[in-house]
Chains A and B, each alone.
Chain A
């Protein structure tokens, strides 16, 4: 396997982007990623696009060809990857493998999602169906917040995690989101704001949930030879990738206090990178709902099982703590354009590792120059963990 580096990243403004269609939104990430790498679209040999809602919450059924044409990427090898909320981490894995195997020297992973072209109940309907429609939606109307609410109830019952603990995750991520100009939600909130917000699926309330967001993110990867040839001054190397999956039926899981796919994907990524969790300087954790971030602390080995709430209570996941988490505001405040999130995490980890263009107040201190991105698809239906090292 050849060494592979991230050489260019781009991220659109996240939010309600009713000013652009899916192709125009993709361009907003592709353009800065090409400029960042110092290459043109013609140099890209392979493109993998992560997007989940094609034909459902936006109109194009083949968004890969639409976006590729619009961005001048036609003729590159092209595919769409679906791994629910981890779709563009799957695209990143595909682009990485194409280069590591020697098939290409320059490849792109692109995430793009338009979630706001339909009304909210219909969006809830589509995302609720994103599990096992026949057995868990058809008769029972399980929504996406409800999937995670089932985990929150179990975690609270087993470990004594409280609604206030969950709220602290939202408060932290809004705090850092308020410093991030591309974030969807830039307002700071309090624990009381979270606790007094309307119940969506008990015990989760509105401010425990990520927003419905439009956005795009692009990542350009290159082989070691190409990095030298292009004279890239701060390549960020892919040190480890891990992946796993979980059952479609939640009723087939062994417990509801963590995500087994996260545990397995993380172990695989740590092994490939040859590191322990303690060597990671900072992380992007998949916080689609507040409980998800607390479970990730535990599943990825940053604290023993059941002690995730202690980590947030002690401020250990803020800058200055043991492991800063989601310094871009996370899915909770930056927003969660489902298929875009994986590449947007890679964008943030790359920017942090380069110590560049990260707004004052949210640059993490770097000791080992190692960052981690943890991206879950569905409710542990898919999981990808990517470790980058400068």
Chain B
């Protein structure tokens, strides 16, 4: 790491258990091919990523709604230099798409050559289980 004299710190491995009990329907939904958002029963505001609580009206009474799959790309980037835990992947494209429900979704965009992608293009949002078993979602050609 360094040409100067150094000593190594003691090594630790960090893996956190992230609670998902309040958004379990979302994570289960991905396995069934559905992408859910939440909608506040009191004020009607729609949340994606799904939120168990509504900071607008402080209600915790939420409905689960399935998002439509049609999205329009607002921006994108092709990530070439990848972080440690993404080294095993080929360079990937991340995009932000706007759905007709008014919410935006950030996800990978697959199935296109980079030169085919442009701001304003129509794509489809789909749920997916990654080869490693992660429940996720991505944009694909409509």
Residues of A bordering B, CB below 8 Å: 16, 18-19, 59, 116-119, 121-122, 124-125, 128, 134-136, 138-143, 145-146, 149-154, 157-158, 198-204, 249-253, 255-256
Contacts and interface: CB of A to CB of B under 8 A. Distances in A.
A142 B106 contact: yes
Given A18-B4, A19-B4, A146-B94, A249 B106 contact: yes
Contacts of B137: 139
B77 A149 contact: yes
A154 B75 contact: yes
B52 interface: no
Contacts of A251: 48-49, 96, 103-106
Most A-side CB within 10 Å, residue of B1, B9, B81: B81
B81 A140 contact: no
B75 A157 contact: yes
B97 to A, nearest CB: 9
Given A128-B83, A146-B94, A250 B106 contact: yes
Given A140-B106, A143-B82, A157-B119, A118 B1 contact: yes
A255 B137 CA distance: 22
B83 A136 contact: no
8 contacts: A16-B2, A118-B1, A119-B1, A139-B107, A139-B130, A141-B79, A141-B85, A251-B105
Contacts of B21: none
Interface in B101-127: 103-108, 114, 118-120
B87 A121 contact: yes
Given A122-B84, A201-B78, A116 B18 contact: no
Interface of B: 1-4, 6, 9, 18, 48-49, 74-87, 89, 92, 94, 96, 103-108, 114, 118-120, 130, 134, 136-137
Contacts of A249: 49, 106
A140 B75 contact: no
Given A145-B81, A200-B81, A140 B108 contact: yes
The 5 lowest CB-CB distance pairs between A and B, nearest first, are A149-B77, A125-B83, A141-B86, A18-B2, A157-B119
A202 B78 contact: yes
Contacts of A135: 49, 106
A140 B77 CA distance: 12
B74 A154 contact: yes
A269 to B, nearest CB: 27
Given A19-B4, A140-B108, A142-B94, A256 B75 contact: yes
A53 to B, nearest CB: 13
A199 B92 contact: no
B78 to A, nearest CB: 4
Contacts of B104: 251-253
B111 to A, nearest CB: 16
Contact of B83 (A19, A141, A149, A203): A141
Most B-side CB within 10 Å, residue of A135, A141, A152, A250: A141
A123 B103 CA distance: 31
A326 to B, nearest CB: 24
Contact of B96 (A119, A201, A250): A250
A249 B105 CA distance: 10
Nearest to B105: A251
B106 A136 contact: yes
